[in-house]
Amino acid sequence: MKIEHIAIWTGDLEKLKFYYEKFFGARSNEKYVNPLTLFESYFLEFESGTRLELMYKPTIPVNLNDTVIQYRGIIHFAFSVNSKAAVEEKAKELELNGYRILRGPRVTGDGYYEFETMDPDGNRLEVMFSNTGAEI
């Protein structure tokens, strides 16, 4: 079994679509628009086959949770890269483009090499490398 897709409500479809295309290599389908319900969405597909659905509807309220303080429920999703150097390069690329690095790059207690950041909507992301069985 695999996760088919994860969905995110956003207030700015184009901005979030651009972010995942530019920094994570996502490929988008054509925008779906339902003029009766005012619902709009994109499906973004990543090289692994995993998809992210970005959705917009003007009646969806803003999430009032603090984006830095963690709460119960889904808190982040992670992108896996092929090397420790790739983690460091992605952190530098995002930081140079004005995106805050919350923590890392660092080795976690369970042996991953990762950093944490947020997308333009404040959704928490990790970019990580796991070299199971080998020292990182």
- Evaluate whether residue 14 is within a structural domain: yes
Q: What is the average pLDDT across 8-35?
A: 97
Tell me the residue range of the domain where 124 lies: 76-129
124 and 82 share a domain?
A: yes
Are residues 51 and 80 located together in one domain of the fold?
Answer: no
Q: Supply the pLDDT for residue 135.
A: 46
In a domain, 91, yes or no: yes
Residue 97: CATH number of its domain: 3.10.180.10
The DSSP line for 67-85 is SSS--SS--EEEEE-S-HH
Q: Residues 12, 49: one domain?
A: yes
Residue 69 lies in a domain: no
- The domain tally of the chain equals 2
Output phi, psi for 56, to 5 deg.
Answer: -135, 135
Q: Round the average pLDDT of the chain to a whole number and report it.
A: 91
Same domain, 83 and 45: no
- For 23-70, how does the pLDDT look when each residue is reduced to its tens digit (9 = 90+)? 999 999 999 999 999 999 999 999 999 999 999 999 998 877 776 776
Q: CA–CA separation, 10 vs 73, rounded Å?
A: 18
Q: Is residue 134 part of a domain?
A: no
Q: Do 51 and 88 lie in a common domain?
A: no
